[in-house]
Amino acid sequence: MKRTLLSLFILSTSLSVFSQDAVSYQLPPKAMADLLLAKPTPTISIDGKAEWILLSERNTYSSVEQLAMPEVRIAGLRINPANFSLSRQSYISNFSLQNVKTGKTSAISGLPVPLAAGIPEWNPGDTKISFTNTTAKGVDLYVIDVATAKATKVNKQPLNVILGNGISWIDSETILYRVATKPASAMPQKPLMPKGPTVQQNLGKTSPSATFQDLIRSPYDEQLFEFFGTSQLVQYKNGVQTLIGKPAIYANVNVSPDKKYLLEKTINKPFSYLVTSRGFPSTVKVTDLSGKTVKVLAELPSTEGTPSGYDNTQNVTRDYDWRDDEAATLTWVKPLDSGLIKNKVQFHDAVFALSAPFNGSAKELFKTETRYRGTVWGNTTMALVYEGLRSKQTSKVSRYNPSTGNVETLYAVNQTDAYNNPGTPVTTKNNFGRSVVQTVDNGTKLLMNNTVGSSPKGDLPFLAKFDLDTKKNDVIWRSAEGTFEYVADVIDANKLVLLTRRESQKDVPNYFIKNLKLRIADRAVTQFSNPYPSLEGIIKEKISYKRSDGVDLTGNLYLPKGYDKAKDGPLPTLIWAYPREFNSATDAAQIRGSKDRFTMISWASPIFWVTQGYAVLDEAEMPIVAKEGKKPNDTYVEQLVANAEAAINKLSDLGVGDRNRMAVGGHSYGAFMTANLLAHTNLFKAGLARSGAYNRTLTPFGFQNEERTYWDVPQLYYEMSPFSYANKIKTPLLLIHGDSDDNPGTFPINSERLFNAIKGFGGTTRFVFLPYEAHSYRGKENLLHMLWEMNNWLDTYVKKVK
C-alpha cells in the first residue's frame, strides 16, 4: 500500500525528519491537568452599606468547539453573528447572595439555566443588581432584587452589546440599555461578485498606521459593521420600556449626574480601514432623556491622522465627560501643542467646561504642563488632576480648586518607582450617586489605598492619609509581614471600617471586615477553600541577586514538594519572564512581588512544572534600563543576556538549579525575549515561546514601549528581531501560537516564518498552531495539549539531558 509523507501520523516527541506531526489532542500528566481544571474561588462584590455580598462563580475553560463557533472579525472586534454580542467572552456561571452580618448565603431564584452572565452592577440604592445573560440566540438583561434574592428578566427585545454593554442605572428603579434593531438572521450576505476592488489611498497626508488586527477590509465589511453596530436606546422603569431617540451606532452613552441629560458619542461614516472602531469618525452631543438633541459638541475625525509617538495626540478636542460634582456640567480637553509633545510650549493641554443649558461659551478650567490624563472630582474646593508622559515614565497629581481656579502639585512620581507610589485616592458616593474624592479629618487629608505596597521587604499593601497642606503620606495601616493583605473596599472612611483580602503562602485568599479605630478582631466574611491541594508543601521564596553591571534583580523561586537540596541535588530549571523598560536603574532594582502570596494557577503560569520535578523561577526580573543618556532598547540584547546570566548564576550558586539543564520561556513579549536569548547565547538547553513577535519590521511604527519608528532606527529594529538571527538559533525552540491571535503586533505569521527560517538552517524547532485561539488562550482541549507539548519538550531537551 502506497503512503505519502503527509499521511503518516507521528505521535512522538523525539526529533522528526518530517515537517508535520499530525497529532490528536493529548493530555499532560494528571497533576498538571488537575491544576488547570481546578475551579477558581468566587469573586465578590459588596454593596455600599456593607450589608450584602454578591458571590460570582466561574467555570474553568470553554471547549475548543465553542471557540470554533462562527464569528465576524471587523473593526477590531470579534462578533458572534447569532446574538449581537462579542465572541470569546468569559462568563459567570452562578450567583449567590451572602449576608455580611449573619454569614448566611442564599441561592438566587429565577437565574437562567445555564447561566452565562456578564459583570454585575449594583443600583444607586444598593437594592438591586443588574447583569446580562448571553444565550445562543441573544443577550438578555436581568435584575436581581436583593431583598427577595430573585432575578427577573426585564428586556423585551434582545440587547446589542457589540460596542460595550451600554447598561447604566439612571436611578435605583430606572435602567438604560441598548437593544438590537433587527434580528441577527437579517445579517447582510456576502455577494459572490464584489462591486469592484478594495482601494485605499493617501494624498500626501502623514498617517502612520499601528498594527491593528481584524480591521474592515471591504465594502461588505462596512455593511456588517453598520448592521451589528446599530442599536436603539431603551429606558426601563417599573415594567415599562421607553425608546429613547433613534437607532444609531452608539460608542458611548453617559447619563448626567442630575439624570436629565445624556452625553452621546455616535460613530459616523466613512468607516476606517486603518484603525479600529474606537478611532472611527464620531459625533459628540448632548440630548435630553427623550433623545432630543440639545447641543452638538463636536464632529471628530478618524484617528488615522494621529501622529506616532506615545505622548502625541490628534489636534482636536477629546475626552468629553460629565463633572461628577455638579448637576450637568461637561468637560473636555484641547491640546495646546497641536498634538505634538515635542513642541515647546508652557502648557500642553487645557480643560474646558460647559454647564446646562449648554448655550453659553465654554470656560477654561485649568491647563496641564504635560499630557492630561483625567480628573477625579470632589467638591467645590477639591478635585484631583492627573497628567504625565509615557515616554518619560512620569506622572503628576495636582489639586484643583474649582472655586478659585488654583492648581497646585500634590505629588509627582516616576511610574516605575514602585517604592514611592503613594497609592490611589479612595472615593465615595456624593448626592448624585457619583464617585468623588473622599476626604477625612475635616477635609484636610486624602485617604490613599495602595493595593501593592512595594517595599524593600516585598509587597506590603497599605492605607495612608495624605495631608493636603504638608503633602506627606502617613501610613495608618500596612499588611503584616508574612501575609499579603490589601484593602478591597473602604466601607466607612471616617470610622476606618474596611473590607480586606488576605492571603499567605498557606492560606487561600479570603475577605475580612477590619476596624482600624476600634481595633477589634477581624471578622471573616468568606471561607474559601484551597482549589489546589496538590500544591501544598511546595517551597516558594523570593530570591535576590545582581547582574554584572550592579543592577539588583529578583524572582519568585518554586521548588517541588519534599525537595532536599543535599539529597536531590540541582534540578532541571525553567526560567519564565517578561522584560520591562526603565529609564532609571534605581527603579529597575526595586523589589516587586511577595513571597507571601498564595500560589494561584492560571493557564499561562509556569508553576505547573514544579509538580514535575523542576525548579521554576517565575517573574524573573528582566529590566531593560536606559544607559548614559540612551534609550533602554539601545542595549536591549546586551542587557537581556546579562539578566539571564545573573539568574542562572544565582540558581546555580544556591545549588537548586542545574546550570546544564536550564530552559527559558515566556508569552508575548516574553516569547520575543526567549527567541532573542536563544539567538544570542548558548545559556539554555531549550526555549518555550508562546504567541510572540519575532520580526520588528512588522510593527514599524513602534512596539511595546519603543516609540521610535523603523525609519528612525532601522538598525535597532534589525538587531532586536530574533528573526534576523534565525540561522544562529540552534537551541531547541518550541513555538506555540493561536491561529486567531488578535493582539496588535503578534500576528501568527511571526511564528510561522521564524519556524520556517530555523528549519531552513537545520535548527531544532517545533511549531504548534492552536486552532481558534486568540492572544490569550481559552479552549480547554488546546490548553491541556499546550501543557503536554511544553512538558514533552522540557523533558526531552532539559530533564533528560545527561
> What is the set of active-site residues?
668, 741, 775
Residues 6+ positions from 309 with CB-CB distance below 8 Å: 340, 341, 342, 391, 702, 707
Task: Give the CA angle between residues 120, 166, 274 to the nearest 5°.
Answer: 120
Please write down the HEC assignment for all residues of 492-547.
Answer: ECCCCEEEEEEECCCCCCEEEEEECCCCCCCEECCCCCCCCHHHCCCEEEEEEEEC
Rounded to whole angstroms, how far apart are CA atoms 686 and 796?
A: 9
Question: How far from the centroid of its chain's Cα atoms is residue 221's Cα?
Answer: 28
260 phi and psi angles, rounded to 5 deg: -105, -15
- Cα dist from 799 to 178, 555, 660, 763, whole Å: 56, 22, 10, 20
HEC assignment per residue over 324-338: CCCCCEEEEEEECCC
C-alpha cell at 744: 496588535
The answer to whether the peptide bond before residue 357 is cis (omega within 30 degrees of 0) is yes
Please state, as a whole number, how many other Cβ atoms lie within 10 Å of the Cβ of residue 79: 25
Q: How far apart are CA 419 and CA 408, in angstroms?
A: 23
Whether the Cβ atoms of residue 452 and residue 416 lie closer than 8 Å to each other: no
Find where cell 442599536 sits: 231
Question: Do residues 356 and 259 lie in contact, with contact meaning Cβ atoms separated by under 8 Å?
Answer: no
What is the distance between the alpha carbons of residues 184 and 177, in angstroms, rounded to a whole number?
18
Separation CA 370–CA 378 (nearest Å): 22
Question: Of 733, 731, 741, 747, which Cα lies nearest the Cα of 774?
Answer: 741
C-alpha cell at 380: 467645590
**592, 554 contact by CB (below 8 A):** yes
Q: What string of DSSP letters covers 269-330? A: SSPPSSS-GGGS-EEEEEEETT--EEEEEEEEPPGGGPPSSTT---SS-EEEEE-TTSSSEE
| Segment holding 638, helix H or strand E | helix 636-654
Let me know: does 551 contact 625? Beta carbons within 8 Å.
yes
DSSP bridge pairs for 92: 58, 117
Spatial CB neighbours of 245, under 8 Å, sequence gap ≥ 6 = 233, 287, 290, 291, 292
Which residue has cell 453573528? 81
- Calculate ∠ Cα 247-253-254, nearest 5°: 150
Q: Is the peptide bond before 194 cis (omega within 30 degrees of 0)?
A: no
β-pairing verdict for 615-620 and 571-577: parallel
Length of the chain: 802
Beta bridge partners, 466, equal: 446, 473
- Give the DSSP per-residue string, 344-374: --S-SEEEEEEETT--S--EEEEEESSEEEE
Please check whether residue 418 is in contact with residue 454, taking contact to mean a CB–CB distance below 8 angstroms.
Answer: yes
425 beta partners? 448
17 burial (CB, 10 Å; 0-12 / 13-18 / 19+) is exposed
